Copies of this chain bind each other. A is one copy, B any other.
Amino acid sequence: MARIGIFDSGVGGLTVHRAILERLPGLDTVYLGDTARLPYGTKSGDVVTHYSLRNARFLASRGIDLLVVACNTASALALPALRESLHLPVLGVVEPGARAAARATRGGRIGVIGTQSTIASGAYQQAIAQASPGSTVTARACPLFVPLAEEGWTDPEDEVVRLVARRYLAPLAEAGVDTLVLGCTHYPLLRGAIARELPGVALVDSAEAIAAEVGALVGATDPARPADHQFFVTDTPERFLGVAGRFLGRTVSRAEHVDV
């Protein structure tokens, strides 16, 4: 049975963990949240790559067979360095998300939202252009979406949530996008508010997109097998454990602190 390593800047990557296990129950996983240095979305390519390599080396030392980069910013900025440095298959969320958008679009108008660093990198824009030649791409950074989700302010009826979503998404509505990639692990928590501002637009969750590609690589798993799930964080575990449930959909009872 394959053992999958997953890293993220913090807790958001648990949405990817969840999507992978819904599709592949029985799989062993090792998760690392770099909570001492989060967020990655406002930091430079150099720094994000440096942290990503350290995360990846730790996971490689735990005997994984495949590395999943759950963080969109790390996927956008650090994938070439990770692939060069590791002797393992490495999957990021950007390419699966772009391919899913290419399949979903009806009119060839694709939007993507993400952190400042993800959008500034142009990685999604480039991947979508490759996966869907001829489509037009409208990209927008939404810096307040992560703190809103971490504060638990996600209800589409909440006036703050509604106003922030409207301000960020208005340019995408004006561009007439028919498909929108949620290019950050936190954004699926705001799906309701995003859908409200962009009615009829297909929302692509890159967590689900990468889970499908992991499934294609790993093949069938045995759901009856008792799977082993390990969680590590670089800051103390308390805050991670406190919010993990919101992202994973079930309680995480134990996470171990590690310096990487």
Chain A positions near chain B (C-beta within 8 angstroms)? 35-38, 42-44, 46-47, 143-144, 146-148, 150-151, 153, 159-160, 163-164, 167, 234-236, 238-239
Contact = CB atoms under 8 A, between A and B. Distances in A.
A25 to B, nearest CB: 32
Contacts of A238: 44
Contacts of A37: 36-37
A43 B146 CA distance: 16
| Copies of chain A in the complex | 2
Contacts of A147: 143-144, 146-147
A256 to B, nearest CB: 14
A159 B163 contact: yes
A151 B42 CA distance: 11
A147 B238 CA distance: 23
Contact of A163 (B42, B43, B163): B163
A235 B150 contact: no
B160 A151 contact: no
B42 A239 contact: yes
Contact of A47 (B47, B143, B235): B235
A146 B143 CA distance: 11
Nearest to A50: B36
Contacts of A160: 160, 163-164, 167
Contacts of A239: 42, 44
B42 A36 contact: no
A149 to B, nearest CB: 11
A43 B235 contact: yes
A243 B83 CA distance: 34
B46 A236 contact: yes
